[in-house]
Structure 1
């Protein structure tokens, strides 16, 4: 039985048009995420007959959605023609709204980066109007720099901190946002389609499709930066919860009446493994050790360098950080039984590179043995643009769904 809006609905029947739309979407999805592919390989990937694949590809070629991309030599017989998504059929913009900067990137339909823009955000000055204006200014800059018509932009995907409700309403306590109408502010100033989601979730989508999560259906992607979040991939699908709020890992409690978190509560994981919290502990143990006026990424890298040079306070802070992080990771592994756990975002890469052996060992001590053995803990494969890439993937997903509907004859 099917449920619609919480009520028992009537069983639906798939029409021939529904079937065709589903087949087109399967083909487009394979091409979008695997790159140039032969018709035979597409048949293997989708389970469709070669005749069905050939018919659908002919239609997509005529519409300009896909193009031929060279040939693959075969043993005996004719070379196999490769097909790919037409990179120039449209463009996508991904936006990463971070604690200290807003990053934007323009992509083609193969998610190849074309142009970038970046704007600094002053700590504590995250007014929604200002953030919306910076996003739109960046969008205009990208379009101008790339020399494309705005009509060729299929949409803008935006990754933000905090919980995103319907319509792009954002609750982000660390920004001071309570029901901030970011979507409304943006839609009032641009006709471009908008897709707004939590930044950890967009990072998870990027790692799943293009990074270290490829090939796995059960993945935990931990975003470690100034803030802390997580993307949970279950059966190949992003787990969102009932109100798209799942993944606030940084605000799970790891110590009763512990350190005060930026959200106002005590004992949150973010108050121990967020970059700002790590640096605060170091400053309290080694006054004057941190250089003033540098950004958190530079400061955390310097702390790690101090530990490598033998600084006792730096060594202590990193050991404590590895231990607190292990508590958080053990909870995730015990709860979700993932195949892979990825440490991602800029602080995740720095801490993972320096402490991966210690993090793994501490996590093993706190995790049920059989569940730990099922999982591998490693670094994410993508760089600082991963959130923007994942945000652009939101636009790509919308395009794939729309393009799966063949034009009527």
Structure 2
């Protein structure tokens, strides 16, 4: 039976379940009495939905609270062990795999360094396969109990009906890599477990908007600094966020060669790989035989040494110039999207942000239009270097909530596409 607006009774029931689950998830524990005004549902609907969710094992009692003159009210919360998700960050220096319960408490993690093989597809797929097997074995979580596997990757992700998620990662040498098909044929997870593969900047944005510095903002841009640079745009029209290739915005005509092959990209002036290369080219001495994270740490320490220690003028000049390029790049985001907040994350962003944030804010304000610049807050993300992994795990969780917490209602085909 269809309602007047085209929604069926099943759709309405699923929407009610979603409303209650999400309210308990973000604001619980709550009583049935509080859930009514919080969700806009009638007391009868709340009673029915809660009864269903308790019967499904998704909601449980969490104590009582005194009421004004009446009986104590029972508090409800989402049951942590009622679902599990895997979040994976295919990063520049390592592949990180984490297993979470439904409340995003980390239960296990595995890391595989990327040393000499770079972004060899077979190596990456093997690291993901082994990491998934390791975290499941460590916790005895049955694979069929997974709500899904979320993966953040560099590059543009296209979703196809034939091969699922296909990754176009120009900066890492991936040309239409059918990553989802490769994982399905390699990882050995049941066909019922969906994969959610997206750009790492978007998964970072998901995490910061749900649990970090973006909570409560209607419009925000979350930028990721690692080896390269990316961003995620969140607006009222695109609540789940959309990745934008901000790192390949041209900031200097006929400038430095970027990893993508073009000239003058922001990535070539602000990504960790480019910063270390520029330090070396201009006479600096990055530590040999170390990964990018260690080398960037050394560069920051050389530019901003402890009191009484000499400053490396080359490192300082490169970082100060990078702050201006980043500020100019942020001014474009301010002018284009007029966000309430811009949040800086990623392992390199968090390292550099504590030193460069004041200068970045100053340059962004000087290059942007005055009206939107006066209304934006530029700050660091709150979730630390694990934010991409947490955000990747949010992808299956958000899908689970959207379907009212029903495992058999994903409506997905073989490759995770909506049927």
Alpha-carbon offset, residue 222 of structure 1: 0.3
Q: SS at 2:352's partner residue?
A: helix
**Counterpart selection for 2:300 from 288, 304, 308:** 304
State which drifts further: 186-195 or 94-103: 186-195
Match of 1:107 in 2: 100
2:26 alignment counterpart:
33
TM-superposition CA deviations, 1:291-325 (whole Å, max 9, x none): 11222122222222212233222221111011000
Deviates more, 1:90-99 or 1:32-41: 32-41
Q: Tell me the residue number matched to 1:266.
A: 263
Aligned twin of 2:369:
368
Q: Tell me the residue number matched to 2:239.
A: 237
For residues 287 and 258 of structure 1, the distance between their equivalents in structure 2, rounded to whole angstroms, comes to: 21
Structure 2 partner of 1:79: 72
Which residue does 2:284 correspond to in 1?
Answer: 287
TM-score of the pair, normalised by structure 2: 0.89
Q: TM-score, normalised by structure 1?
A: 0.91
Query: Which residue of the partner structure matches residue 360 of structure 2?
Result: 359
Q: Which residue of 1 aligns with 2:417?
A: none
Residue 276 (structure 1) aligned to one of 273, 278, 281: 273
Q: 1:176 aligns with which of 173, 177, 185?
A: 173
2 CA distance for matches of 1:229 and 1:328? 11
Distance in 1, Cα, partners of 2:304 & 2:60: 52
List aligned pairs for 1:196-211, cutoff 5 A.
196-211=197-212
1:231–1:238 CA contact under 8 A, matched in 2: no
- In structure 2, C-alpha distance between the alignment counterparts of 1:371 and 1:274, rounded to whole Å: 26
Q: 1:407 and 1:270 mapped to 2: Cα distance?
A: 42
Q: Deviations over 1:162-214 (max 9, x none)?
A: 01111111010122100001111011133232111111101100000011101
Structure 1: gaps spanning 5 or more residues: 1-10, 241-245
* From 133, 147, 151, the counterpart of 2:140: 147
**3-state SS of the aligned residue for 1:319?**
helix
> Are the aligned partners of 1:124 and 1:175 in contact in 2 as well (CA < 8 Å)?
no
Structure 2 segments unaligned to the other structure (5+ residues): 306-310, 410-419
CA drift of 1:80 comes to: 3.0
Is the aligned partner of 1:45 residue 2:47?
no
Could you tell me how far apart the structure 2 residues matched to 1:349 and 1:341 are? 14
Summarize the Cα distance change of 1:91–1:239 in structure 2 as closer, same or farther, 3 Å threshold: closer
Partner of 1:252: 249
Alpha carbons of 1:379 and 1:75: their partners in 2 closer, same or farther (altered >3 Å)? farther
User: 1:319-356 CA distances to partner (integer Å, 9 max, x unpaired)?
Assistant: 10110000110000110000010010111111111111
Asked if the contact 1:94/1:106 (under 8 Å) is kept, the reply is yes
Query: Number of residue pairs matched?
Result: 392
Say if 1:404 and 1:282 are closer, same or farther in 2 by CA, change over 3 A.
same
